[in-house]
Structure 1
Amino acid sequence: MAPSRRTLARRLESLADFSDPSPDLEQYLTPPEVAAHVCHLAGLQGDLERPVVDLGTGTGMLAIAASLAGADRAVGIDVDSAALETAAENAGRVGATVDWVLGDASRPPVATANDDRDRGVTVVSNPPFGAQRGNRHADRDFLETARSIADVSYTIHNEGSQEFVESYAGDEGGAVTHAFRAPFPIDRRFDFHTAETATLEGEVFRIEWA
């Protein structure tokens, strides 16, 4: 039996954060409550009955949550090898089974085999919000990847992204079926942060792709 959302969030609370987060990659830990909400909903929708690919997995929060929630298979992709080492340690800490892949999530080094494609692929992702100059529209790149490999995706975006996400999905033959807010409490970690703690407001969208 899959764990409840609350139980899943509690298990994820033990996962380690980035040891040396990169501001250029906008490396922030996905809150356990948000990951639990995403993967619990995915379970209710039957989206964990197929391979799950976490684009830009970081320290593995979403991929591990998917595994613990009952995913048929979970894969985490990230460009940062140090983050993937932490992700592997995190998975071992809670007994999750995840395949870790080093690579650029906007050009993922994975192929969806015919049998996987018949079963479908689910993408989960917390891409950069685009707050840094070099990351403008980074979330669009992740959406493009999701569209190219997934039947269903769950992506996390900055507050105020609903019009953009719905427009992009519609242009590509997809449809947003669920949307909900996702608060990101953040402790001071980069030099440009002026407060000790802050909360970013994110938004999560479930998209069914044609």
Structure 2
Amino acid sequence: MAVDAKLIAERRTEFGKGAARRIRRTDRIPAVLYGHGQDPIHLTLEGHATMMALKTSNALLEIENPDATKNELAIAREVQVNPVTRHIEHVDLIIVKRGEKIEVDIPIHVDGEAAPGTIVSVDNQTLLVSAEATHIPEYFEVSVEGREVGDHLYAADVTLPKGVELIADPEMLIVNISAELSEEQLEAELESEAVDEEVAAATGAESDEDAEAGTEDAEGDSDEEKSED
């Protein structure tokens, strides 16, 4: 597996939320690099280049590390993304070496068309495997072509490349093929959900009334106690 991107790192010298905001305003991203017994190194990475590199799942990155005599190979172990702006706010990088195996979650892509009148449900979007650090698959492809109602695909059914070992439970459900609901069934399900919502709302209202009544009783008791005093 070739390196997906080379990122130029700079040593991070200031910390805290305010410092992180200032770093991001300069189109850089706070990051930490660790692994192989090395003390964590706090860095900043190029904002746009990092964002583009991490579009590839489990991208192999070459980090130009200012505290090392050579560049480090790394993958992103955790990426924090702002839920509103979708900008990357922080990246945890783990150092990897050629030849070593690491555990990674690999995305699953579902391909093909199941039989008419079926619904394809993907129960798990990723599969945990052990793979050579510099030969991590980008994704696993699972075909549902012609699959009938009642068919299931499990982790053990996913074809793995040579050298990749399954870590997830072999019986973990990946894809479930079920029957498409008829209009009558869909209407009945919607009606049932509406009834459940009405019951929940009524139950909530009763609980609120009970709580208010309890408060009034407590206040009444308190007034009586004061009058007795």
TM-score (norm 1): 0.22
Structure possessing the higher radius of gyration over alpha carbons = 2
Q: Which has the higher helix share?
A: 1
TM-score (norm 2): 0.21
Q: Which has the higher strand share?
A: 2
